[in-house]
Structure 1
Amino acid sequence: MRSIKKSPIVVTSPPPKQKLSRPALEKVAGIFSAFADATRLSILQELRGGRLSVGELVANLGTSQANISKHLKLLHQAGLLTREREGLQVFYKVSEDSVYEMCQFACKRLNENAQASITEDYFI
Structure 2
Amino acid sequence: MPGNAGFYSSDKENSPPGVKYKSQQKFEPKILVWLALSSKGISAPYTGTTKAPAVDVDPDLASSHYANKTTDWLNEQKVPSVPKYANPPNVPKARPIEDCWGILAQQMYSRGWTAINQEQLINRIKTQLKKN
Q: Which has the higher contact order (CA 8 A, sep 6+)?
A: 1
Higher strand share: 1
Q: Do both proteins adopt the same fold according to a TM-score greater than 0.5, normalized to the shorter chain?
A: no
Name the larger-Rg structure: 1
Structure ranking higher in helix proportion: 1
Report the TM-score, using the length of structure 1 for normalisation: 0.31
